[in-house]
Structures are given as C-alpha cells and as structure tokens.
Amino acid sequence: MDVEEFGSKWAQMRSPFQKWWGRLTDADLVRIDGRLDRMIEVLQERYGLGPERIARELFARMAKLERSQRQHRFATQIRDTWKDHWVRLRGQALSWWGILTEADLDDVAGEAEAVIELLQNRYGYTRDLAEAEFNGRVGEHLILHRSNPVVRHD
C-alpha cells in the first residue's frame, strides 16, 4: 500500500482505526487527516512502537478488513442472485441438499435466509456452517455458470 492509497481509504478506515488502537483520540484523527506518515507518527507516540512494526500491523489489519468486506459483498451477491434465479436453481438445490423437498423450496420462496435456516434444522448445522454451505454451493454454481453478470469479483 502506498501513501496515495492510504489517503484514498482514510474516510472508511477512521472508525476501524479507533477500534483497533483505542488510544487514538478524535484530535489525533484530525491531525492524521489521511496521511500515512502522520498515522505512523501518532501511533509511535501513543504506543511506543517502531515505525516498521506499526506499518506491518497497520497494513495487515487493513488487508484483513478489505478481505472481509469483499467476502461480505460476494455473499450479498450470492443471496441476491439466489433470490433472482431461485426457480432455476431449485433442481440444483434438491441435488445439493437431498433432505430438502419441493415443499421446503416452495416454503422458502427464494429467501436465502430461509434456506440457511432449513440447512441448520435438517442437517443439524451451526448457523456458520449452514451459511458457508449455502454460500459455497450457490457461489460455486454461479462461478461455473459465469453467464450471470451479477457475480463479479472486485
């Protein structure tokens, strides 16, 4: 990450910065004003760490947050696509999850959250596992059938 990229992400990162480094004050954030050199300087003052360690930690945390945001956007696209094309995907869903029935799919009426709840109940999955199963199956299907313009990786 370079100085310009840090500055361009400043507005969206202010809140996470304060959560990550609780000693940062509102006045510190005003002083930093999107400048990487000032961010490192202020964190050195507040925490007494070297600039290399601060930079490593800062970039690692920012990268982790960006990955999480990309995953969230992709999961949202999966749910939106499921809802828009669920009639077409019904047969596929029956083959993926053999315990589910036509009546179950009628009941969920294209709602991703309802499918995830069904997976929890029928398979005894945790919420996280049911969501990962849903996202994985539908996401893989959408990637393999790229003719659907809704799915993008940005």
The string of pLDDT tens digits covering residues 85-119 is 888 888 899 999 999 999 999 998 889 999 999 99
Element housing 91 (H / E): helix 51-96
Nearest to 81 by CA among 109, 103, 112: 112
Q: Is 129 within 8 Å of 135 (Cβ atoms)?
A: no
Contact indicator for 130, 120 with CB cutoff of 8 Å? yes
User: Does residue 75 surpass a pLDDT of 50?
Assistant: yes
Percent of the chain with pLDDT over 70: 93
Residue 146 pLDDT grade (very low, low, confident, very high; cuts 50, 70, 90):
low
pLDDT tens digits for range 10-45: 888 888 889 999 999 999 999 999 999 999 999 999
Q: Is the pLDDT of residue 125 over 80?
A: yes
Q: Smallest Cα–Cα separation from 142: which of 99, 80, 78?
A: 78
The one-character DSSP state at 102 is: H
Domain with CATH 1.10.1470.10 in the chain: 69-144
d(CA 148, CA 141): 10
* pLDDT mean across residues, the chain: 87
Distance from CA of residue 91 to its chain's centroid?
Answer: 28
What fold does the segment set 69-144 form as a domain? Answer: Protein Yjbj; Chain: A; (1.10.1470)
Entry pTM? 0.57
Pick the more confident residue, 147 or 14. 14
pLDDT higher than 50, residue 148: no
